[in-house]
Amino acid sequence: MFENEHTIRRFMIEKAEGEFHVKYERAAEQVRSEFGKKYPIIIAGKRVKTATTTHTSPIDSRLVLGYIPAGTGRHVKQAISAARKAFETWGKTDYRERVRICRAAAELMSQHKFELAAWMSYENGKNRYEAIGDVDEAIDFVRYYAEEMERNNGFEITTKSAQPNEKSKSVMKPYGVWGIIAPFNFPAAILTGMTVGAVITGNTTIVKPSSDAPITAFKIVEIFEQAGLPDGVINLVCGSGSNVGAKLAKSSDVSGIAFTGSRDVGYAMAKEFSKSRPKPLIAELGGKNPAIVTETADLGKAVDGVMKAAFGFSGQKCSACSRVIVHKKVKDEFLRRLAEKTKSLPVGNPIDPNTFVGPVINKSAYEKYQKYAKIAAKSGKLVVGGSTRKEGDLKHGYFVEPAIVTGLPKNHRLFKEEMFVPILCITDYDKFDDAIRIANDIDYGLTAGIFSENKDEVKQFLASIEAGVVYVNRQVSATTGAMVGCQPFGGWKDSATTSRGAGGPHYLTQFMREQSQTLAN
C-alpha cells in the first residue's frame, strides 16, 4: 500500500529533529566538495561532452556550482534517435518489470534524499524543509504511479464479447518518445513525476531540465540508471529553451510532450507541436491563486495559511497564494496580523536552519520583483516589504522582502498577472457572491482556498470556484502543498491543457493510447 514519504513528519514523531539537521548539514558539506565539476549530456547511457556554461547559485553569484553542457539541436536529434531505438524494447517490456525498476529508483532516491535536497538548496534557494519536501514528493510520484500500474493491471481491461466466439479487451499502450521539459521550482518532484509518468507506461524520454537547476536533474537521472533502467529510456539534454525545448516541439519523431512552465511558452509550444497533426501535450501553465477570508473565518488559521502559501519558496510556486479577498468587517484585523507575521519571517541563506524566505531564482526574477514593487507602491499601498536585501553576504545573491500590497483597483494588472515573486495583493468584498466573482475573474484556475465557519459559504465556494485544487480552512497552507495520492494536482482554464491532476488516478492514462483487441475462435 502506497504511503507518502513524509521525512520531516517522521523525524518529528520520533523526536529526532536534531538528527534531521545533522543529516542535512553533512549532505550540504558533501555537496560543497563537488562544486565546480563539469557535467555531460546523457544520451543512450553515454556521457557526451559539449561546450559548457557556468552555473552559479542564487544564494551567492560568486559560488560556481558546476559547468553545465550547452545542448544543441544536434544533441536533441541524437537523443531522439536513442529514445526511438530504446522504445523498440522498452515499449514491449512487461509493466511489472517497469514497475520493479522504478521502485528500485525510488528506494535509491530515498537513500540519497538529503544529498538531493542540499543540491536543491544551492541550485534554486529552497530552505532545507522545502527541499526535503520536494524530494519526498518525487519519491511519492514514483511509488504512487507504480502502485497505479499494478492496481490497474497495466491498464488492461477485459470487455464484453460482441459475439459468442469472440473475446475482447481494452489495452493501453505507450505512444513512443516523449519530451519532458521541467521547471526550476520543483527540480526533483515535477521533473521526476513527469518523467516517470512517461517511462512507467512504456514510453522513452528526452529530459530537458531547467537551466537554473540542472545538477539536481543529473543526479536523478543517474539514480534511475543505477536502478537498472535500460540505456536510452531517459536521455538528459541540458540547454536553452530555444536550443532544446523548441527542437523537441518541432520534431515529428516526438510523440508527446510533458511541460511545466509559463502559459505563453506552453501555448506557443502546443501550437508548434501540433502543427502537422494533433499530438498529446500535458502542460501545467501556472496560476493566480485566490484565498477568500470571510467575516466568520478563524483569523489565526487564515493568517497562517495565507502567509505560508504566499511566501513559501519566495512565492515561486504555481500554486502560491497571490490574491486575498477578505470581508470588509475583518480586513483591518486580518491585515494587521498578517503584516506582523510577515515582517518577522527570516529572510536569508537557505542553508541556515532558521531561514524561511530564501532568494528568488535569478537576476531576471530579482529585477521583476523590483518592477512589480514599484508598480504596487505607485498604484496602491505597500504595507510590508517592497525592497531588496543587501546586508552582508546577501548582497551577492537575489534576496527580496516578502511584500503585501493593498488599495489596488480590483482590475489592476497585479491582480491578473502571474508574478512568481513574493508579492501578495489584498482586496476586500461586501457580499459573498462578489468574493466568488472576484476569485473567478481571472484567466487561470489552478488552486484556491477559503477560510469560513459558515457551512453555506463553504458549500457555495466548492460549487462555484473555478480551480482544479481547492482547500477549506487549511492552516498549513491556503493554496499550496498538494500531496501525491491525496490531492491530484491539475488546473482549469489557462492553468493546464488536460486538467488531469499529477499524483492522481487519471494522470498515467495521458501517456498511453487505447487499443481494442478482439480474438475470435
Tell me, what's the pLDDT at 233?
98
Is residue 118 predicted with pLDDT exceeding 90? Answer: yes
Tell me, what's the pLDDT at 484?
98
Annotate 395-433 with b (16+ C-beta within 10 A) or e (fewer): ebbbbbbbbbbbebeeebebbeebbbbbbbbbbbbeebe
Domain extents in the chain = 7-285+498-520, 289-483
Q: Is 34 a catalytic residue?
A: no
- Separation of CA 440 from chain center: 23
CA angle 355, 356, 361 (to 5 degrees): 95
Tell me, what's the pLDDT at 134?
98
**Amino acid making up residue 119:** W
The average pLDDT across 261-289 equals 95
The average pLDDT across 255-262 equals 97
Is residue 80 predicted with pLDDT exceeding 90? Answer: yes
| Superfamily of chain region 289-483 | Aldehyde Dehydrogenase; Chain A, domain 2 (3.40.309.10)
- Provide the pLDDT confidence category of residue 137 given band limits of 50, 70 and 90: very high
Joined grid coordinates for residue 332:
483591518
Is residue 132 predicted with pLDDT exceeding 90? Answer: yes
> Please, what is the average pLDDT of the chain?
97
The average pLDDT across 126-154 equals 98
Does 7-285+498-520 match 289-483 in CATH topology?
Answer: no
- Separation of CA 278 from chain center: 26
H or E element in which residue 82 lies? helix 73-90
What CA–CA distance (Å, rounded) separates 68 from 50?
A: 9
Tell me, what's the pLDDT at 62?
97
Tell the burial category of 47 from Cβ atoms under 10 Å away from its Cβ (0-12, 13-18, 19+): exposed
Is residue 499 predicted with pLDDT exceeding 90? Answer: no
Segment 145-201, tens digit of pLDDT? 999 999 999 999 999 999 999 999 999 999 999 999 999 999 999 999 999 999 999
The average pLDDT across 236-257 equals 96
Q: Is 318 a catalytic residue?
A: yes
From 123, 130, 148, 284, active-site residue: 284
Tell me, what's the pLDDT at 44?
98
CATH for 7-285+498-520 is: 3.40.605.10
Cα–Cα distance list, 229 to 100, 125, 196 (Å): 10, 30, 11
Contact call for residues 290 and 439 (beta carbons, < 8 A): yes
- Separation of CA 464 from chain center: 26
β-strand pairing of 512-520 with 166-174? antiparallel
First to last CA, the chain: 39
From 238, 318, 321, 425, active-site residue: 318
Collapse the DSSP code of 8 into the 3-class scheme (helix H, G, I; strand E, B; otherwise coil) and give the result: helix
Segment 315-325, tens digit of pLDDT? 999 999 999 99
